[in-house]
Amino acid sequence: MKIERLAEEKARIGTWGLLNLSRLEIILKYAGQKILDAGCADGAYVRFLIKQGYDAFGLDLLPSKDWEGEFRERFISSDLNQIPYKDGTFDTVTAFEVLEHVENIDKVLRELVRVTRENIILSVPDSELYPKFRESGLTFHHWVDRTHVQFFTEESLKKKLADHRLFIHFLGKINPIYPEVLILESLRLPHSLTRFLKKLARKFPLFKREHMTLIAVANKKSP
């Protein structure tokens, strides 16, 4: 994957690296004390975790101006195909929305496994093609990211982790979608009313929620 294309998509989409409460809950529940965020983007998770008392570090192919400042020594720019840390340096490695971007996924996974002592926490877009989406002419937002070269379903993610002798301790789905937003927008109501109804719909869902993202905790040892 060319660095120029990655930088272009990061700027175009504008959500790479933002803190996600669902991911943070998983980290706080399953991560060890020393953490590497592989593919850390702007480093939001690293800064948050350090402030929570964790020994956190970040690595990304694209350096960010947000790495500067108090925690600048915690960040390095590097390719995930050859992570510049010794075997078992970290208790936990996180990789959020990373694997879908890498050409040689097995090589990258071997590196992530190599530098962790205990587990990996990762999330990837759910690429399951649900019939109701096809019939509605809709798809998940992540399909518009042109840098994705790997595509995962729940079953294919399980298999890939098993191929690398990892044991799944948790597998779930996060990042819900809100189809009612489309309905509200189509009614052409006053903007203030539409905005209020959107907030209401998120608190009191009108539909069964589908989720865009798979998240897994995979350990080197069985449960």
DSSP string, 41-106: TT-HHHHHHHHTT-EEEEEESS--GGG-STTGGGEEE--TTS-SS-TT-EEEEEEES-GGG-S-HH
The fold for domain 3-177+211-219 equals: Rossmann fold (3.40.50)
pTM higher than 0.85, yes or no? Answer: no
- Say if residue 207's pLDDT is above 70: no
- Whether 45 has a pLDDT exceeding 60, the answer reads yes
Q: Report how far residue 165's alpha carbon sits from residue 112's, in angstroms, rounded to the nearest whole number.
A: 12
Q: How confident is the model at residue 151 (pLDDT cuts 50, 70, 90)?
A: confident
Lowest-confidence pick of 62-66, 129-133, 167-171? 129-133
Residue of 187, 151, 153 whose CA lies nearest to 171:
153
Q: Indicate whether 152 pLDDT > 50.
A: yes
pLDDT over 70, % of the chain: 77
